[in-house]
Structure 1
């Protein structure tokens, strides 16, 4: 049988996901993997340098596909940061659920230590960049280094929250993963309520006013 000639990155991803689910293990070599899917080994290296690179890319594709779907919606574009993030979560976890068998295979052995799982590294880069682009309101600190630290802390805490939600979803046995939906809504809303800096801004403004008045009265 002639080898397949037109092999894309998406083909390789599909072949890889099917292979690990059918064999309950990753391929032992690129040669074996290519032979099983009837294409030249060299085609694999046109897109990926290793199976780990494929695994990392799969999670980024799940993220990219979710975001592309959201950006196609005019409603989403008009949402505030809170509702954009909620929409992302629900869409992203729909894609995780559609590929649950593979995601569980890839993460099950690490589910109690997801923070350090290398296959999620590309997802982390994409997600933290997404969080940065939401322009979530933070305190206006007139010091560049502290401002960068504040935004970095926001991105890291958002990433940890996503990992906790993935862990919850992996353990969820409710019908249609209804408990995960509730967890998403409560956790995202709670995080934004905690980030609500309006009351703190009022306190700071009051402090500035009193300080100014005290100086003037002195």
Structure 2
């Protein structure tokens, strides 16, 4: 059973998310928070596997809450909920360790699939959602040459794997493309994250896009 905490200051949004998630027999919504401060308290109390985190909330915003949660040992995975045209701090959430993003109008099937994905230790890089988001917020976010210097530490195989991660491919899809085992790809991704001093899969994808910017 995947335990989920929903953090959003709008009651209607929380209700809708809870109804969608609890229709999945493998997901349990263990708590709902109305702001970042309450999200931290409830995350400590209920130890969820996944936190659905809104960005704009009173008292403590989702960016700060995400950063604090990711400083914990065995931290839950954080999925940021965003309205793309309004939230200008999404890149900061990536830097703070968010596992990915969902738009608030994400179809129910994609929402539950996203929760399963991050609970399994992966990040949300669906072309229809996160790739567009990353493309927008990675522009000018860091010096292109600095990003390229960081990527120079990777082996040719790691460069191939990273390119497919940045394209939104899962470990299984990367394994099939490169004719390698999924376990090998998982190990490669972990090595890339360590070499680039990143927190998760989303951050290395952003770095790859920065380095590829003309």
Bigger Rg, structure 1 or 2:
1
Structure number with higher strand proportion: 2
- Taking CA–CA contacts closer than 8 Å with sequence separation of 6 or more, which of the two structures ends up with the larger relative contact order? 1
